[in-house]
Structure 1
Amino acid sequence: MTSSPPASALRPPAASRVFSRGVPALPPGTERYRVPGGGSVLLRVAPGDQITVTDVEGGQPCELSFVDARGRFEAAGLGVAFDCDAPGLRGILAAGQAGLEGSARRALAALLRLGVGPGGARALRLFGQNGAPGAQASFTAALEGTLIAVAPGGPMLPEAQETSTPIHLQIRRGGARLRYAQRLPDPLADPLADIRIRAATAVAYEVKAGDWIQVIDVDGRQCTDFQAFDARKLERGIEHALDATITRTLLGRSYPTPGLPAKAFDRDFQPLVEVVRDTVGRHDAFATACNSRYYDDAGYPGHANCTDNFNRVLDPFGVAPRKGWEALNFFYNTGVDHLNQLYFDEPWSRPGDYVLMRALTDLVCVSSSCPDDIDPANGWDLTDIHIRTFSGRESFSRAVATRMTPDAVPELTKETGFHAGLAPHVREHVEYRGYWLPNETRAGRLAEYWACREKAVVMDLSPLRKFEVTGPDAEALLQWCLTRDVRKLAVGQVVYSAMCYEHGGMVDDGTLFRMGDMAFRWIGGDDASGLWLREQAEKMGYRAWVRSSTDQLHNIAVQGPAAREVLKDLVWTGPTRTPVADLDWFRFTIGRIGGFEGIPVVVSRTGYTGELGYELFCHPRDAGAVLAAVMEAGAPHGLIPMGLAALDMVRIEAGLIFAHHEFTDQTDPFEAGIGFTVPLKGKPDAFVGREVLVERKAHPRHLLAGLDIGGRDAVAHGDGVFLGRAQVGVVTSATFSPVLGKQIALARIEPVHAAPGTVLEVGKLDGQMKRIPAEVVTLSHYDPGKLRPRGLA
């Protein structure tokens, strides 16, 4: 028998703790906003609100203005003196820059609602072109009014590096929690209806064909069920509600999303709504709305539930009650696990997240605020849902939301500068890294593939992340963060490199352009690479600026055997620049399309296809004209647009790696098949992860190799590679190769089994019931000597 501890040693049970890496919890009453480079943000403030402005990337000016309740620019509202006539704000209101027209339009509309125009604008200018990353300024609002923050900046020449970068704005409210109306996000347009659905209730409402429905999670982590009926059918007594099972069947996916699989249908296969925007992307449509039986069985008889709430508010429309309502279940974080069991957790939705739909016929709709407070479904805190409807005369882009980091402000999917010119040729667009890109053209992916291998293609690769790395220590920073020896890179030269964390796992891969003695441009696939460079610059004390320029530089790739012929007479270069016809592999030149006074471009001899190829970089405002000129010059050579589906085929054939397939942050460059980017003996300086990579090279865990697949059965990313019953690797990418006439794959394999000629098997079903023969070959199935991109074949 154990004795009780002394009373002095007793402690109360510890509170549960949640550690969210990279997502710092904001204190109550604290809000965070992002002012896009070249854009603006308007916010309501009250006396006592504390305002902190941060130049995250450095070198970005900021203008702060304040408009009082009477519509006047009033410096006293911030307790400061204005020192300029707000040229940034005036410029944005006069004409929105490419990609930022929406920001300018919203700013103008908000000012007009306040009864103020740009004529009397005044501002306080903060920071400057030489400002340090992370520089801050703080203020306390003295009056009630509107704060206007602007991150001014003009179009950047492709060979220049004066990019416009974001400003972060944080407000700590001085008073009590914001009133409900203040917590609502600004309307997307003038609403036809503003409907508040109080926690644990439901509301029915009518929407005309063509009008828009916005479902808003006001405070975050609050689920809502949505259901709709064709109003004309209801008048005839036909109660055919939106049917999630029919929708899944017709779409071939679990949930309607912006793009091609956007519609939701009733049991007659009639489309009722179209999902146009979704800032969360995490919902369910395979279980019913909560009902009384769920709570009864859990020991909570009489608990409020969405089904009874639906029945109550739909009764006036003559809809018969149901035991359980099927619905589109917005913001629900539920799924089906590998054991075929339903599971759920707290929603992913953040305050202000929403889904925007368009009514495809006259509708009777019903929405709820889910009353479930006995499990994590609503984050243990029931809050309100808000519905706004807008006239069909309004226009909204199709978009999902992406975040640069988990705690960043969401950004809606954008169109690249080349989108309008390519769209008439495109059959299917997909969202990639925050942009809509062609996945397949009307010619079809097979025609695109053969054009790339035999003639020429043009591709939009604008979502690649670009960062301008400048300053006295720019070279030192890149020498520390990249695996390649940056000191050997000459001005006008490009090098492909890996970037690693301390444990050897890869941050990203990409190309580095040396623009000048102290000026570089890093082009990678992930925002994480820019963040890592900035963190390391601060940690090491380097005087270097790392500023994003993705929105200032859009790019297309012209690839294929005829690529040089397409471009050699199209791009004018000055006498001190290398002509395109003479450009060597992994070199770049600066020129113009249209002669001496033409459109400025940067042209590099780089690519991602295994063919002779080039990339052209320009400002988004010039993208349409650049694309038109390339298409015209390429027509005699058989040039056509190519999408991501065909690009995946050619890059797998060439053994070129792709993030989250061939590498992750758990994969080192040797495992990813790019060990040639790590010159452990030739690089004289230390770099991040070097000591670990020395060990990894000597004792590799896996190697990336090619596989020739026996037969036409498709293999796919994630399939296991087996030797007998034992798994010895995993398929990272696979495709059918038209030029080779067989299935091929890239696979990460244990070194002892990775030698060419080794016979293995790819496991399907459970990995044991079905096997497909495979033989290990060199990584590059097509042109392993890289003779074609070198121009030697």
Structure 2
Amino acid sequence: MLEMIKEEWEEDRFLNLQSPIDSQQFRVEGQQAIRLLLHTGDVLEIRSVDSEQAAEIIVLDMEGKSAPQLLDSRAPVTADNIQQQLQEKGTAAKALAKQFENWQIQAEDYQTVLRVEGDESSSFVAYADLTVVIVAAGPSMSIEEHTPPTELQVMVKYAEPVAEVLPEPLAEVKKEIRIPRASARTYEVKKGEWIQIIDVSGKQCSDFIVFDKQALEQGKEVGLDATATRTVMGLSNPVPGLHSRFLGPDMMSMVEVVQDTVGRHDSFLFACTAKYYEDSGYFGHISCTENFNNVLKPYSIEPRAGWPAINLFFNTGIEPCGTVFMDEPWSRPGDYVLMRADKDLICASSACPDDIDPANGWVPTDIHVRIYGAEHHFPRSIAHRITAEEHPRMTKTSGFHNRTSALTKKFIEYAGYWVATEYEGWGANAEYLACRERVAVLDLTPLRKIDITGPDAVAFLQYVLTQNVRRMAVGEIAHSAICLETGGMIDDGTIFRMADQVFRWFCGDSYTMVWMAEKAEEKGFKVSIRNATEQIHNLAVQGPNSRELLSQIIWTSESQTSVEKLKWFHFTIGRLGGPDGVPVMVSRTGYTGELGYEVWCHPDAAETLWDAVWQAGQPFNIAPMGFDALDMLRVEAGLSMAEYEFGPDVTPFEAGTGFSVPLSTKEEDFVGREALARENPESRHKLVGLILDGGESAAHGDLVYQGRFPVGIVTSAILSPLLGKQIAMIRVAPEFAKQDTRLEVGKLDGIQKRLGGVVVKLPFYDPKRARLLS
């Protein structure tokens, strides 16, 4: 009777508190498709992000037959873009064809479609229950073209608001478990099976515990171990990639995180306990621990006063003083974590009942679990969002990934892509030496590529970039910053002048394109801004032998500059292996301080390019290079990096890239010019080098001292193979930036331990850039 009263009380408390979901946003990436179910009266809105990508919409009735009239009365048109894409032989064509096959869409279903042109923002109302397939189709773009298929934004406004969002299954579902709010459920999974835990309404914590099934059958309770997990993984919360495992007390993996659309959780705090509610004055409040004790009884698992758990979607953090705090979860409706069982497991999941603090956004809701068979494969990925309200973007692999992953398993997520940190059989030092002494090859695909064209392209770029674009010649490259009105840096990158009013901007931050589009609209510039990142992947080929290597495999026509004659910060268009080879763009650029190049191609040609570079590089003892070696090279070369040397509170002059702000020769106004012009050169902080005395290392964020008080900060630090010493790039007050000044890096609390060093000019390596310009 007491349990019934509790359940009724909890149900009454939570009833009607949850805010209904009246709309949902989706994204269709270039050359991809999404499938949505609409109900009568639902409103579908579609727009092109860059106002140039057409949408083609396949409409199917509930029997799976083509029925465009159920969504719009206008006459359907030929699906030109879909058919063009499917007629190609590349990866995008195969992927779209596979989607259609999985969705049982026949060729006759996409002969005619509804079409939304890129410069339209169309709204449709469903006349009946139906399925729509929205496709951002288009042919693949060659390297010398500027027509990339780009993404669409889709919004569904529900006629009847819904209480939850269940994402489309990742594959055929083996079992589904619904965990009603304020309850817990157990379920069994076999080794190799996949567990998807879904927050259906958003901001709902789900505690997760597992037990080794075989051990339980032998009378032993073997569950997750917080100490083993955190010690071995080196993280407070495992994430997809290298640090993805939750371990048992034997330090063997029990479950692995494979996909995560949230990225903000906690691990091994208690699932909420009766004591927590009683101490807060809520006597008799149901808890996750009590719910776990009840559902684990059939397995003869002893009850506990508190269950250590993986607290999925639980947003906690630790203040510098050590205080643990919580806030509303980051999870949105439909967000999930996907894990793979490394043993036969007994699992227990809860839908937390906590409604007295922000842990569940104040309103507890349901959790949904899907189990997939071991025969499926799901790629590792972590979600990120460019803007707060958009659909999550999952980590991608570049066109070179099949080649790089054959040489190493050490990958990290960087700017939305998996990149190698170092290669097995080489290691960071050997890769570094290959670049300094011979030649090395690096996958740099995460760079963002933005095509900017149109009659106002020059005027627009003069406004948004610090660099004087008007002075550039066709075929020339320039480094530039992009600044806020305050002078702080949003991003930096390189601008390629492809033609008089045609440019390609390479940078690190996806938000740069959003910001550029806002400025173009705000000022009324007639310019096209298109994201070509998915159509252009690139290798950096760096080192003293890079010119000789590439000269053997890159063919250029008489109208283009050969690799041998290509000047620093210039580019050329050529083909791989001869006049009939795949198109490539070669730029004499890099991030290493060495003679070097970058080679740009369509991802379908990526493996062909890698193989050609790798084979031609064998006589030079070529090495693959990961990001650990790259960091060593760029610090020695004194090259700035986002979130290290610069950010929105650091100006180009303070970041060591003041050369990209020609205030004296650029007459036009640009964003941030007034603030930068106001800066007093004598008082601004400066980026300089610091050579440390001993073998102990400094780290990004360490404070730099002279005497008791800090005078600057360490932005980057490495052990330099060149100098055989610990070195750091530091940003310090001008009074302490002079060469040979003695400074100290503060460790521990900054006072108890100091690492002495001497200030030097940047760069540490090749100060006259003789090797770079050779």
Check if 1:597 corresponds to 2:586.
no
What letter is aligned with 1:259?
A: G
Residue 64 of structure 1 corresponds to 57
Check if 1:119 corresponds to 2:108.
yes
What letter is aligned with 1:502?
A: E
Check if 1:178 corresponds to 2:167.
no
Residue 360 of structure 2 corresponds to 378
Among 496, 500, 508, which residue is 2:491 paired with? 508
Among 510, 522, 537, which residue is 2:520 paired with? 537
Among 125, 145, 149, which residue is 2:130 paired with? 145
Residue 23 of structure 1 corresponds to none
Residue 6 of structure 2 corresponds to none
Q: Secondary structure at the match of 2:143?
A: coil
What letter is aligned with 1:750?
A: A
Residue 420 of structure 1 corresponds to 402
1:701 deviates by: 3.1
Check if 1:344 corresponds to 2:344.
no
Question: CA deviation digits over 1:222-257, x for unaligned, max 9?
Answer: 000111111111111111111222211222221222
Check if 1:517 corresponds to 2:500.
yes
1:459 deviates by: 0.3
- Separation in 1 of the partners of 2:244 and 2:197? 16
1:351 deviates by: 1.3
Q: Secondary structure at the match of 1:206?
A: strand
Q: Secondary structure at the match of 2:699?
A: coil
Residue 161 of structure 1 corresponds to 146
Q: Is the Cα–Cα contact under 8 Å of residues 452 and 502 in structure 2 kept in the other structure?
A: yes
What letter is aligned with 2:116?
A: L
- Separation in 1 of the partners of 2:682 and 2:72? 63
1:762 deviates by: 0.7
Q: Secondary structure at the match of 1:551?
A: helix
1:337 deviates by: 1.7
Q: Is the Cα–Cα contact under 8 Å of residues 167 and 334 in structure 2 kept in the other structure?
A: yes
- Separation in 1 of the partners of 2:738 and 2:681? 16
Map residues 576-615 of structure 1 onto 2, 5 A cutoff: 576-615=559-598
Q: Is the Cα–Cα contact under 8 Å of residues 492 and 513 in structure 1 kept in the other structure?
A: yes
Q: Mean alpha-carbon deviation: is it higher for 235-244 or for 692-701?
A: 692-701
Question: CA deviation digits over 1:529-582, x for unaligned, max 9?
Answer: 211211111111110011101100000000011110110121000010000010
Check if 1:51 corresponds to 2:40.
no
Q: 1:56 to 1:613 in 2, by over 3 A?
A: same
Question: CA deviation digits over 1:738-759, x for unaligned, max 9?
Answer: 1111111101101111111211
Question: CA deviation digits over 1:647-687, x for unaligned, max 9?
Answer: 00010000000000000011110000111111111112111
Q: Is the Cα–Cα contact under 8 Å of residues 42 and 107 in structure 1 kept in the other structure?
A: no
Check if 1:712 corresponds to 2:695.
yes
Q: Is the Cα–Cα contact under 8 Å of residues 245 and 286 in structure 1 kept in the other structure?
A: no
Residue 84 of structure 1 corresponds to 77
Residue 15 of structure 2 corresponds to none
Q: Secondary structure at the match of 2:772?
A: helix
1:107 deviates by: 4.5
Q: 1:269 to 1:99 in 2, by over 3 A?
A: farther
Residue 631 of structure 1 corresponds to 614
1:89 deviates by: 4.0
Q: Mean alpha-carbon deviation: is it higher for 201-210 or for 52-61?
A: 52-61
Q: Is the Cα–Cα contact under 8 Å of residues 85 and 138 in structure 2 kept in the other structure?
A: no
What letter is aligned with 2:408?
A: V
- Separation in 2 of the partners of 1:106 and 1:217? 25
Q: 1:109 to 1:179 in 2, by over 3 A?
A: farther
Residue 749 of structure 1 corresponds to 732
Q: 1:697 to 1:591 in 2, by over 3 A?
A: farther
Q: Secondary structure at the match of 2:583?
A: strand
Q: Is the Cα–Cα contact under 8 Å of residues 81 and 139 in structure 2 kept in the other structure?
A: no
Check if 1:619 corresponds to 2:592.
no
1:630 deviates by: 0.3
Q: Is the Cα–Cα contact under 8 Å of residues 670 and 700 in structure 1 kept in the other structure?
A: no
- Separation in 2 of the partners of 1:226 and 1:751? 53
Residue 68 of structure 2 corresponds to 75
- Separation in 2 of the partners of 1:109 and 1:425? 32
Q: Is the Cα–Cα contact under 8 Å of residues 269 and 310 in structure 2 kept in the other structure?
A: no
Q: Is the Cα–Cα contact under 8 Å of residues 210 and 224 in structure 2 kept in the other structure?
A: yes
Q: Is the Cα–Cα contact under 8 Å of residues 84 and 138 in structure 2 kept in the other structure?
A: no
- Separation in 2 of the partners of 1:68 and 1:665? 50
- Separation in 1 of the partners of 2:700 and 2:94? 40
* Matched length: 754
Q: Is the Cα–Cα contact under 8 Å of residues 654 and 782 in structure 1 kept in the other structure?
A: yes
- Separation in 1 of the partners of 2:149 and 2:683? 42
1:699 deviates by: 5.3
Q: Is the Cα–Cα contact under 8 Å of residues 670 and 697 in structure 1 kept in the other structure?
A: no
Q: Is the Cα–Cα contact under 8 Å of residues 689 and 764 in structure 2 kept in the other structure?
A: yes
- Separation in 1 of the partners of 2:463 and 2:751? 46
Q: Secondary structure at the match of 1:76?
A: helix
Residue 550 of structure 1 corresponds to 533
What stretches of structure 2 of length at least 5 have no aligned partner? Answer: 1-18
Check if 1:493 corresponds to 2:476.
yes
- Separation in 2 of the partners of 1:27 and 1:360? 38
- Separation in 2 of the partners of 1:154 and 1:277? 30
Residue 663 of structure 1 corresponds to 646
What letter is aligned with 2:755?
A: I
Among 330, 333, 342, which residue is 1:360 paired with? 342
What letter is aligned with 2:248?
A: D
Q: 1:634 to 1:697 in 2, by over 3 A?
A: farther
Residue 16 of structure 1 corresponds to none
1:700 deviates by: 4.0
Q: Is the Cα–Cα contact under 8 Å of residues 191 and 391 in structure 1 kept in the other structure?
A: yes
Q: Mean alpha-carbon deviation: is it higher for 255-264 or for 540-549?
A: 255-264
Map residues 697-736 of structure 1 onto 2, 5 A cutoff: 697-698=680-681, 700-736=683-719
- Separation in 2 of the partners of 1:616 and 1:92? 25
1:144 deviates by: 0.9
Among 261, 266, 278, which residue is 1:284 paired with? 266
- Separation in 2 of the partners of 1:96 and 1:734? 46
Question: CA deviation digits over 1:231-288, x for unaligned, max 9?
Answer: 1111111111112222112222212221222221222323211111111111111311
Q: Mean alpha-carbon deviation: is it higher for 622-631 or for 705-714?
A: 705-714
1:722 deviates by: 0.5
Q: Is the Cα–Cα contact under 8 Å of residues 243 and 327 in structure 1 kept in the other structure?
A: no
Map residues 242-253 of structure 1 onto 2, 5 A cutoff: 242-253=224-235
- Separation in 1 of the partners of 2:525 and 2:428? 46
Q: Secondary structure at the match of 1:425?
A: coil
What letter is aligned with 1:484?
A: Q
Q: Secondary structure at the match of 1:123?
A: strand
Check if 1:241 corresponds to 2:230.
no
- Separation in 1 of the partners of 2:303 and 2:98? 45
Residue 8 of structure 1 corresponds to none
Question: CA deviation digits over 1:677-707, x for unaligned, max 9?
Answer: 1111111211111111011244543111111
Among 456, 462, 465, which residue is 1:473 paired with? 456
1:179 deviates by: 6.1
Among 663, 678, 690, which residue is 2:661 paired with? 678
Check if 1:688 corresponds to 2:678.
no
- Separation in 1 of the partners of 2:35 and 2:126? 14
What letter is aligned with 2:135?
A: V
1:95 deviates by: 7.4
What letter is aligned with 1:770?
A: K
How many percent of aligned residue pairs carry the same amino acid? 47
Check if 1:335 corresponds to 2:325.
no
Residue 767 of structure 2 corresponds to 784
- Separation in 1 of the partners of 2:23 and 2:724? 60
Q: Is the Cα–Cα contact under 8 Å of residues 100 and 106 in structure 2 kept in the other structure?
A: no
Residue 391 of structure 2 corresponds to 409
- Separation in 1 of the partners of 2:59 and 2:228? 52
- Separation in 2 of the partners of 1:46 and 1:598? 50
Q: Secondary structure at the match of 2:433?
A: helix
Q: Secondary structure at the match of 1:174?
A: strand
- Separation in 1 of the partners of 2:652 and 2:109? 57
Residue 462 of structure 1 corresponds to 445
1:147 deviates by: 1.6
